[in-house]
C-alpha cells in the first residue's frame, strides 16, 4: 500500500469508525451469528494475489460486521464494559503508525518515559499513596500472574526461579488465599505459576459477598499447623459477579502478620477511585504489594491497557529479568527497561492512548462519567428494589446490579429456569445485552453500566425491555 492509498482508505475508515460510534445503537448489541456462519463465508485458502482495500472493506461490512457483538453500544450491559473513546482510538492509531516495540528504554525512550508519567498520573488520580511504581500490562490476568510469580519468589528467596520445584526443598506446598468470589484469573495464574489448583484456598464471603477476614485467618492458621507454606493473598476490590469489596484493612493486617504477599485485583472498580467519593474502595491499599486495574474496562481507553502497580519494582525486575547479550544497552544502569517488569519481551506503545484520554478528557470529565454511571446503576437498583416483581440479590456499591425476577410463590429451581429464559429472550431481541452470574448458588441477572455513551435513557430502555419481555 502506498502513502496515497493509505491516506485515502485511512480517511474513509476514520469516517466509518466515527459513524459507527455515533450510530452503534442501530445494531443488535449481541451478534446474531450462529456458530460456523462467519467461517463458512471465508475462503479456505489465503489469496495468492493482493486484493483491493475496497474489496476487503466490502467483505468486512458484509461478512465480519454481522459477527460482531457491539461492546461500545450504549445498551451493552453484559460482563464488565470494555469501553473506548475517540481520544483513545486516535492514540491507538498513532501507536500502530509508529509500530514501536517498547521493550527497552532505548527502543523508544519516549514510550518508556511517557509510560512512567501516565502511570504516575494514574496513581495520583486514584489516590494511591507514595511508594507504588506503575507499569502497563496487557490484561489484569497477566498482572495477577506477575504478582503470583513475585509472591512465589519472595516466599522462596528466589529459589523456584533458580531450581524449579526442587527449590521448595521439602517444605510444604505454597498456598494462595482468595475469596470464593475472586476472578478465575487467580486460579489460572496459580496453575501457570506452578502453585497447583489445589493450593488455591477459597476464603468464605460474608452477606455482602466480601472476603471474611476471620475465615482467612483461620485458614492460614490451619495451613501453618499442617506444615503448608502460606504465600499470597489475592483480595478483590469489586468482584466480577457483584463488585463486592474485600476489606483491605483487616486483610492487610493479616498479610503483614504472616509476611504474605498482598495482591489487590481491582480490574473494574479501580477506575471508580478517580472520583473522590469512591476513594474509600482503596482504604488499606498501603498494605498491598501489588495492585491491578484496567483502564480498558471503565476509563475510556480501548482494550488492551491494564495498570499494574507494585511496591517493590526491584523485586519485580529481579523475578522477571533476563539479560542476554543482545538486549544489553549502555543506559541499562540509569533507565527502566520495561521488558523486566512483566512477562512478554515485546511491548506495545500503550501509554499513548492513555495519555490522549487523560489529557483530552481531563480528570474532571472522567470523574463525571464514572459518577454518572454509578448514579445510573443506583437508579436501576432503586427500581428493582421498589418493584414487587423484582428482587435485588447483592449490594450495589458501584455500577453493577445483580437481581432477578421474583414475583413470589416460585421455588428456587423454578426461579432459575424462568430467569434464564428471560435472559435468553431479552438478549435474542437485540435491544440490550446483559449476562448472568450465580451468587452463593442463586442465579442472578446482571446489569453493568459503564460504556462511554451509556446515559440515562439507555438504562430506562433496559428496564422497560426487561419488563416487557416478562
Ligand atoms: C475483568 C476482570 C479480570 C480480568 O481482566 P482481563 O484484563 O481481561 O484479564 C480480573 N479480575 C477481575 C475482578 C475482573 O473483573
Domain segments of the chain as ranges: 101-348
Ligand 1 midpoint to CA 43 (Å): 35
> Do the beta carbons of residue 392 and residue 402 sit within 8 Å?
yes
Residues sharing a CB contact under 8 Å with residue 175, sequence separation 6 or more, in sequence order? 195, 199, 201, 220, 223, 228, 229, 230, 231, 232
Tell me the chain's radius of gyration from C-alpha atoms. Answer: 24
State whether the beta carbon of 265 lies less than 6 angstroms from ligand 1. Answer: yes
State whether the beta carbon of 29 lies less than 6 angstroms from ligand 1. Answer: no
Ligand 1 midpoint to CA 81 (Å): 11
> Do the beta carbons of residue 107 and residue 349 sit within 8 Å?
no
The whole-angstrom separation of Cα 353 and Cα 90 is 7
Query: What pLDDT is stored for residue 311 in this prediction?
Result: 98
Q: Which residues are 222's β-sheet partners?
A: none
Return the ligand 1 atom nearest residue 296 CA.
7
> Do the beta carbons of residue 351 and residue 306 sit within 8 Å?
no
Ligand 1 midpoint to CA 123 (Å): 19
Q: What is the pLDDT of residues 184-229, one digit of tens each?
A: 999 999 999 999 999 999 999 999 999 999 999 999 999 999 999 9
Q: What is the pLDDT of residues 234-243, one digit of tens each?
A: 999 999 999 9
> Do the beta carbons of residue 124 and residue 276 sit within 8 Å?
no
Query: What pLDDT is stored for residue 323 in this prediction?
Result: 83
Ligand 1 midpoint to CA 289 (Å): 18
Q: Which residues are 310's β-sheet partners?
A: 133, 290
SS3 403: strand
The whole-angstrom separation of Cα 460 and Cα 307 is 33
Q: What is the pLDDT of residues 393-413, one digit of tens each?
A: 999 999 999 999 999 999 999
Top-tier CATH class for 101-348? alpha beta
State whether the beta carbon of 185 lies less than 6 angstroms from ligand 1. Answer: yes
Lookup result for grid cell 486516535: 90
For residue 435, give the DSSP letter. E
Cell of 314: 526491584
Mean per-residue pLDDT for 381-394? Answer: 98
Amino acid at each position: 500500500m502506498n502513502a496515497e492509498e493509505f491516506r485515502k482508505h485511512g480517511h474513509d475508515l476514520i469516517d466509518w469508525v466515527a459513524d459507527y460510534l455515533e450510530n452503534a445503537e442501530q445494531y443488535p448489541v449481541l451478534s446474531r451469528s450462529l456458530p460456523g456462519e462467519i467461517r463458512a463465508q471465508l475462503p479456505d485458502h489465503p489469496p495468492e494475489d493482493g486484493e483491493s482495500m475496497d474489496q476487503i472493506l466490502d467483505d468486512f461490512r458484509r461478512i465480519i460486521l454481522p459477527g460482531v457483538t457491539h461492546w461500545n453500544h450504549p445498551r451493552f450491559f453484559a460482563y464488565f464494559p470494555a469501553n473506548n473513546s475517540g481520544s483513545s482510538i486516535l492514540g491507538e492509531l498513532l501507536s500502530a503508525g509508529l509500530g514501536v516495540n517498547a521493550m527497552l528504554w532505548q527502543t523508544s525512550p519516549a514510550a518508556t518515559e511517557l509510560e512512567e508519567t501516565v502511570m504516575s498520573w494514574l496513581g495520583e488520580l486514584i489516590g494511591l499513596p507514595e511508594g507504588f511504581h506503575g507499569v502497563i500490562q496487557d490484561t489484569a490476568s497477566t498482572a495477577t500472574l506477575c504478582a503470583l510469580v513475585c509472591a512465589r519468589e519472595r516466599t522462596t528467596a528466589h529459589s523456584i526461579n533458580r531450581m524449579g520445584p526442587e527449590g521448595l526443598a521439602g517444605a510444604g506446598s505454597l498456598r494462595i488465599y482468595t475469596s470464593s468470589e475472586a476472578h478465575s484469573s487467580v486460579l489460572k495464574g496459580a496453575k501457570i505459576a506452578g502453585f497447583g489448583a489445589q493450593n488455591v484456598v477459597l476464603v468464605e464471603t460474608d452477606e455482602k459477598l466480601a472476603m471474611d477476614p476471620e475465615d482467612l485467618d483461620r485458614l492460614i492458621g490451619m495451613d501453618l499447623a499442617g506444615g503448608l507454606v502460606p504465600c499470597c493473598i489475592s483480595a478483590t476490590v469489586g468482584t466480577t459477579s457483584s463488585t463486592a469489596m474485600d476489606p483491605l484493612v483487616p486483610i492487610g493486617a493479616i498479610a503483614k502478620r504472616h509476611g504474605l504477599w498482598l495482591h489487590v485485583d481491582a480490574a473494574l472498580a479501580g477506575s471508580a477511585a478517580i472520583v473522590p467519593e469512591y476513594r474509600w474502595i482503596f482504604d488499606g491499599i498501603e498494605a498491598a504489594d501489588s495492585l491491578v486495574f484496567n483502564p480498558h474496562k471503565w476509563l475510556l481507553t480501548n482494550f488492551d491497557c491494564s495498570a499494574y502497580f507494585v511496591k517493590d519494582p526491584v523485586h519485580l525486575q529481579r523475578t522477571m529479568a533476563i539479560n542476554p547479550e543482545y538486549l544489553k544497552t549502555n543506559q541499562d544502569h540509569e533507565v527502566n527497561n520495561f521488558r523486566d517488569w512483566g512477562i512478554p519481551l515485546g511491548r506495545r506503545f500503550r501509554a499513548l492512548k492513555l495519555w490522549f484520554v487523560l489529557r483530552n478528557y481531563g480528570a474532571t470529565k472522567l470523574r463525571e462519567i464514572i459518577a454518572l454511571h454509578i448514579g445510573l446503576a443506583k437508579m436501576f437498583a432503586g427500581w428493582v428494589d421498589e418493584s414487587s416483581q423484582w428482587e435485588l440479590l447483592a449490594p450495589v456499591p458501584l455500577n453493577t446490579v445483580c437481581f432477578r425476577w421474583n414475583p413470589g410463590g416460585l421455588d428456587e429451581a423454578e426461579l432459575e429456569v424462568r430467569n434464564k429464559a428471560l435472559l435468553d429472550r431479552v438478549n435474542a431481541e437485540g435491544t440490550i445485552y446483559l449476562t448472568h452470574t450465580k451468587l452463593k448458588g442463586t442465579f442472578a441477572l446482571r446489569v453493568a453500566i459503564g460504556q462511554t455513551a451509556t446515559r440515562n435513557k439507555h438504562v430506562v430502555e433496559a428496564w422497560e425491555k426487561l419488563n416487557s419481555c416478562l
